[in-house]
Amino acid sequence: MGDEIEKRYFGADDFRNFRERLETETALLQGVFRDNEFSQRGEVAGFELEAWLIDEAGDPLPVNEAFLEHLNNPLVVPELAAFNVELNGSPSRITGRLFSRLHDELASNWNACCRTASELGCSMLAIGILPTVQQEMLCAQNMSAQVRYRSLNDRVLALRDGQPLGIKIDGDEPLQTTHADVMLEAAATSFQIHLQCRPENAVRDFNASMIISAPMVAVSANSPYLFGHSLWDETRIPLFEQAVDVGPNLLSRVGFGQDYAHESLFEIFEQNRKDYRLLLPAVQTSPAHEFRHVRFHNGTLWRWNRPLIGFDFDGQPHLRIEHRVVAAGPTLRDSIANSAFYFGLVRGLTLSGASGDYGLPFEQARANFYRCAREGLNATVRWPGRKGVQERSIRALIVDDLLPLARNGLQASNIPDAEIDEYLEIIAARADSSQNGATWQRRWVARHGTDMRALVKAYQALQQDDVPVHQWSV
């Protein structure tokens, strides 16, 4: 979906040609899975950080075209809205001082972005939902210039027969509204964590990623406010799910999924082929073994844990999991700590010897996820233990069970103890203090009131110091 397309509008021939290529590539991909032809390298980390461009008042500023031209960095690319950009990390082996390497690269690129933004009279901010964004700012005039975004909007509205998108989110101050286009999606920005898998681990890594989505979203929640309404701790989750809703008679294109993987991740790509309408039938001329149509179609389905087909430097295909549940911010150091927790939990679970579902039914993993998105570190979940699946406080679960599990996983990956201590202690302190980005924002508003511009300024000043959020005062 990150690739630009040549035209905005499509006819019957485009849909037929794209479908034919998708069928051919999916059949070829099935053979790659069957014959185990994926790269064996695996255990490779990556990330994407979505960020906001804001003006002096703390409002979003739609200048990403000028910003990106001035920056001229291939690792920084546009997003749907002209006030958003995305910073990409380079692939890095999950071993040694991994998290220091990730932090150093992210900080270098972030600082370059901040310097460029300053030269253009704006600044950068990483936060799940910008508290100052107003609904009228999320309009077609503020959409990025890329053709693919205009076409995406056209197709979503066409599948809805032109009906506006409806948003209904409960919370302390419930929000119910309609919107004329998909730009509501642009209000939700994330820190996406990538795990390139060894083929033999892919199913267990994917299922583990789904199971740990609940504690991951709880500990990293950073999106409590939208259009002045106090909603979920991670309002980004219901917002994104509703912002590209294609209508009641079609499967949602954003969600937790329908089940765990069982035999292979090919099950997901086959479901994509069978059960989801083509959204952007942008026909490519590339050979079938590049899987451009499989990958592009998959890129228009935004599962919270999404399997990806990529390629190593030598052209060999690989399997990758994109973990999408974590909000952007509050700091770069917090983001890297979130990745440490994720990689440690995935490997810790896969080494635990538990069954393929790790003792947690899929329906319960999904329920845990949405409860944690709503309630953050105040949530309770049902989690497997010695006496079966039991109700647990998410904070106690993180401190007592999941942090030791993550430590075991990172130690098995030859991450030095000092590195593990530095980043997992940030997660432990967040859980112990019950302060993530969402709770800090709520505490700030409880003390200072609902001046969202002042909230953004206070948040930005603390973010610039890169001191983890559990140490922020209000």
2: confidence class by pLDDT, cuts 50, 70, 90: low
Residues sharing a CB contact under 8 Å with residue 214, sequence separation 6 or more, in sequence order: 365, 368, 369, 371, 372, 379, 381, 394
353: confidence class by pLDDT, cuts 50, 70, 90: confident
- Is the residue at 87 inside a domain? yes
How many distinct structural domains can be found in the chain?
1
- Is the residue at 375 inside a domain? yes
- Is the residue at 408 inside a domain? yes
Cα–Cα distance between 126 and 52 in angstroms, integer? 6
Q: Within 10 A of 391 (CB to CB), how many other CB atoms are there? A: 8
- Is the residue at 6 inside a domain? no
- Is the residue at 474 inside a domain? no
- Is the residue at 430 inside a domain? yes
Q: Burial of 306 by CB count in 10 Å (0-12 exposed, 13-18 middle, 19+ buried)?
A: buried
Give which of 2, 5, 1, 3 is closest to 283, Cα–Cα: 5
Q: What digits encode the pLDDT tens for the residues 260-302?
A: 999 999 999 999 999 999 999 999 999 999 999 999 999 999 9
User: What does the pLDDT read at residue 3?
Assistant: 79
What average pLDDT does the structure give for the chain? 96
User: What does the pLDDT read at residue 386?
Assistant: 84
Residue 330 has pLDDT above 80, yes or no: yes
Which residues are paired to 327 by β-bridges?
190
Q: Can you give the residue range of the structural domain that contains 431?
A: 12-469
- Is the residue at 255 inside a domain? yes
User: What does the pLDDT read at residue 354?
Assistant: 76
In this prediction the pTM is: 0.97
Q: What is the mean pLDDT of residues 26-53?
A: 97
- Is the residue at 2 inside a domain? no
Contact 428, 401 (CB under 8 A): no
What size, in residues, is the chain? Answer: 474
Here the CATH number for the domain that contains residue 453 is 3.30.590.20
